[in-house]
Chain A
Amino acid sequence: SQQGEEDPQALSIQEGENATMNCSYKTSINNLQWYRQNSGRGLVHLILIRSNEREKHSGRLRVTLDTSKKSSSLLITASRAADTASYFCATDAWNAGNMLTFGGGTRLMVKP
């Protein structure tokens, strides 16, 4: 079963705009990660944030984590057509090894 929900399920923006995706989860976590998937291919790891961190940046990506609300957000700034993909959050729990629990994903379309 999925850990939580992602919001929105689909997002369409113009190139250059910012895209924000939200993820909620249900249980205590160790890490939260974001992945990108292009057209049903493999997942590409974007960024990992640990449960004791609140914000993390990587290039045009900014991730926040609010463990009190069990939620995270992914911000992509100055989006490009190449950012068109599905984005998934995934959590792992303490003592659960490499078992990731994924959200349902957000389909992002960036129009040139």
Chain B
Amino acid sequence: KAGVTQTPRYLIKTRGQQVTLSCSPISGHRSVSWYQQTPGQGLQFLFEYFSETQRNKGNFPGRFSGRQFSNSRSEMNVSTLELGDSALYLCASSPLTGVGGYTFGSGTRLTVV
């Protein structure tokens, strides 16, 4: 079966712009989580959506937001981009919540210039 698909793979944006990243989970998976990976802070949890509801949110400013659609696809949005938002953004899907063993996508590499 198809894995977790993240689009786009690479993105270059200018400071102050906004960006939307997309994640299509494995068919049948209802949970989608987002993570930010940077050399300095490592892998950090952004938020989790389950059945279109945000279940958890990490310690990120309000510029970071997300949503999940009825088909479980998820988007995350970052407004007013800062240079420090340059990172690899990963999403993970799971059939349920709290059971572990997540499948990650290949990520979107965002560069803010």
Contact = CB atoms under 8 A, between A and B. Distances in A.
A23 to B, nearest CB: 13
Interface stretch (A11-19, A61-69, A75-83, A90-98): A90-98
Contacts of B102: 45, 98, 100
**Majority secondary structure of chain B interface residues (helix, strand, loop or mixed):** strand
Interface stretch (B14-22, B67-75, B76-84, B86-94): B86-94
Interface string B88-105: 101010100111111111
B45 A99 contact: yes
B102 to A, nearest CB: 6
8 contacts: A2-B43, A42-B90, A45-B104, A90-B43, A92-B98, A95-B98, A98-B92, A98-B102
A41 interface: yes
A40 B59 contact: no
**Majority secondary structure of chain A interface residues (helix, strand, loop or mixed):** loop
Contact of B100 (A33, A102, A105): A33
Q: In which size bucket is the chain A interface? A: 20 to 34
Contacts of B37: 40
Contacts of B97: 97-98
Interface residues of B, number: 32
A42 B105 contact: yes
A98 B101 contact: no
Interface of A: 1-2, 30-31, 33, 35, 40-45, 48, 88, 90, 92, 95-105
Given A45-B101, A97-B98, A98-B98, A104 B42 contact: yes
B91 to A, nearest CB: 9
Given A98-B33, A98-B92, A31 B100 contact: yes
